[in-house]
Every structure is written in structure tokens, then in C-alpha cells.
Amino acid sequence: MIGNIISTFLWLFARSFGWFVLARIVGGLSEGNVQLSIAIVSDVTTQKTRSRGLALVGIAFAISFTLGPALGAYFASKDLAKLFPQFVEWGLNPYSMPAFVALILLSVETLYIYLALPETAKISKKNSSQQEESFNTKEEQPEYNINTISVSERKSNLRILNWIHFLYLFFFAGMEFTLTFLTFDLFDFTNMQNGKLLGFIGILSAIIQGGYVRRKAHNIGEKRLVIQGVLSCSIALAIISYLTKLSNGKTLLYIDGITWLYIGAAFLALTSATVVNCLTSIASMQCDDELQQIDEVQGEDDTQNINTLIPKGEALGKFRSSGQLGRAFGPIAACGLYWISGSGICYASGSLAMLIIFIIVRIKVPFIKKSKN
């Protein structure tokens, strides 16, 4: 959080583009706070409730990404330099107001976290002990318990999940980044219309996470939700790739191009609500609690790794880093393909890639099925 405060302070007084880039670099290096929030949710939840807890994080992101840009645009219209002209020589500029508001919010949040957020590692250990005791006292045993899975197998699962996370966000972020190009090229959308479209995706995603993911993830399994989300993305991109033939007032099944665009956006909202949260939940279930001790060891691999745990924070940090790499390089590749080959080929390629990821998920991702009790 302190890193984010420093980043925002640099942004507030960014007198040149170089200073702004430096502010973003510092902010990027401080993104661990997001991963820590996920680790904290993992600490205070059990396998049964983890997807519900992570869905709350997803809802917060969806709402923030929907309201944040609009608020930023509003405050950007307020000239902070006119209110404090004495700081102009320090780098204060007409667009510093969003940074000033963000700095206040981050400062308040940091103080609140310091005063109100307890250490969660002990809570994690308590939850682990209660869960193990619950498993041992019920006739129905869970089909997935990390104590019955070797460390090497769980590490292999994490490597697979990291690659899936990278590939998924590589293509999803790339297609998402070029969506506003497509709407402008085909339908001559204004910034306001693009904002409404992205707001529609964000709000619907939050509703799906609250009304569907939080309630159903434990019953149907996180893997099935990931499969639904990836397949939904493939369908959405296939619909969007066909929009090139529906411009200029043409219709398909008596439905015009803009309506089809919103249908595709609805599928993207389902994708946004399910895939990353549930992949994160599955990844967290491959980890040991930070204070957990291994009491029984089976097999040669486990004997060799008797003192080896998979720290949750470290594993989830690598998992998120792989996704962020995909999010960084995906838009570059997608923009290149978009301008070289056109929107139709770009989105058709994305749809095919998501179909391949769908197959990989079905084959490689472990199915997490927990006790109903």
C-alpha cells in the first residue's frame, strides 16, 4: 500500500511523461497488495467457502473497474492547478485531480488496514485443523485433500495452472483491449457508447459473481465453472468475429449487429466472472497453510520433501505473475494481428485459442470435489 501511495504521489506531481511512467513502474512493483488480499481470503476460508470468498474479491474488482474510469474522467475535468497554483512549479498540472483523490483514498485505506486487519496466518491454521477434524469425524470423506496428494503432484498442478492462467489472460486481455477499436471501426461508437458497453460487462459480471459463482461454485466445482467461462469466451469471440458482416445495418436471424455485440458482451461477462476467480481457488487448494505441519508422509517423493511445504503466498504470487505477463503481452500481440489482418481474423483466432484452452482445462486441471457436509 505504501508503494501505491508513493506511485500516486509521483503521478500527482508528474511534470513530464517520464515521471508518469516512473509512477506507473512503482505502482506495478507494488501490485503484491492485490495478491495478498487473495491470500488473506484463502487464509480465512475453508475449501468449501473459498470460491465464495474469492468471488467477493472479483465483485469488488468488477465494480471498481466499472465505476473507477467514470470517476477518474469526472475528476480529470477539475483543474487542481487552479486551486493550488503555488504547486505548479513542482509539477502539479490540470490533470492531477484524479491522482489527488486516489492518494487520499489510498491513505485512508492504508490506515484502516493497519488498525483493523488482523494477522490471518493463525486463522488459516485454525481453519485447517477444524477442517481436518471435520473430515475425520464424518463418514463421507472429501475427494480432494492436499494431505493425500504428493508435493510433486501439487507442484505439477500449479505449473499447469500457471500456464493456463498465462494463456487465458494473453488472449482474453488482447481481445478485450481491441474491443473498442472494433466498435469504432464497425459501428462508429463514441467514447460514451464504449463506456456503456464496458459498464454493461462490468455490472453483469458483478451480478453473475454474486448470484451464481458464490452460490454454485462449491456445488458444481470450480473446474466446471472455469470450463463454462472459457467456453463462453470462445462463443463470445466467435460472435464478435462475425460482426464484420453485420455492419451497415445488416442482420443475422433478424438481430442487428449492435444487439449481437451486446450478446457477445454478455458471454464475456460470464467469462470475466468465473475463470480467474475459480482458477485462483483451484491454485490455492494446491498449497499448504503457512503454519501447517506434515504429520504423515507417504511415498518416496514425500519422504524426500518431508520438510517441504508449498507456501500459499509464494505460490499464488507466481500464479498471479503468470497472469499479469499474459495481460501485458496479450494486447501487444492482439493489436498487431488486428491491424495486420483485420478484426474478423483477430477475433476468430481468439475464439479458436480459447477453444484449445477449453480442451486443456478439461484434460489437465484437477477436479476439486469437496464433501457436501
**E-strand stretches of the chain:** 251-252, 255-256
Q: pLDDT (tens digit, 9 = 90+) per residue, 189-221?
A: 887 888 888 889 988 988 888 888 887 777 788
| Residue 137 pLDDT grade (very low, low, confident, very high; cuts 50, 70, 90) | very low
pLDDT for the residue 358: 96
Residue 270 is classified by DSSP as H
| Residue 369 pLDDT grade (very low, low, confident, very high; cuts 50, 70, 90) | low
Q: How many residues does the chain have?
A: 373
Report the distance separating Cα 196 and Cα 134, nearest Å. 48
pLDDT for the residue 102: 87
Element (H, E) at 307: none
Share of the chain above pLDDT 70, in %: 81
What one-character-per-residue DSSP string does 115-147 give?
HHPPP-HHHHHHHHHHHHHHHHTSSSPPS--GG
pLDDT for the residue 125: 52
pLDDT for the residue 290: 52
Domains of the chain: 149-364 (1.20.1250.20)
Q: Which residues lie below 8 Å from residue 213, measured CB to CB, with a gap of 6+?
A: 51, 52, 55, 58, 225, 273, 274, 277, 278
Average pLDDT over the chain reads 79
Cell of 198: 464496458
Residue 86 is classified by DSSP as G
**Residue 199 Cα to chain centre, angstroms:** 17
pLDDT for the residue 306: 44
Report the distance separating Cα 329 and Cα 228, nearest Å. 25
pLDDT for the residue 296: 41
For residues 40 and 149, which has the higher predicted lDDT (pLDDT)? 40
Q: pLDDT (tens digit, 9 = 90+) per residue, 158-192?
A: 899 999 999 999 999 999 899 989 998 888 888 78
pLDDT for the residue 372: 47
pLDDT for the residue 251: 66
pTM: 0.75
Q: pLDDT (tens digit, 9 = 90+) per residue, 241-292?
A: 988 876 666 666 677 888 899 999 999 999 998 998 888 888 888 877 654 4
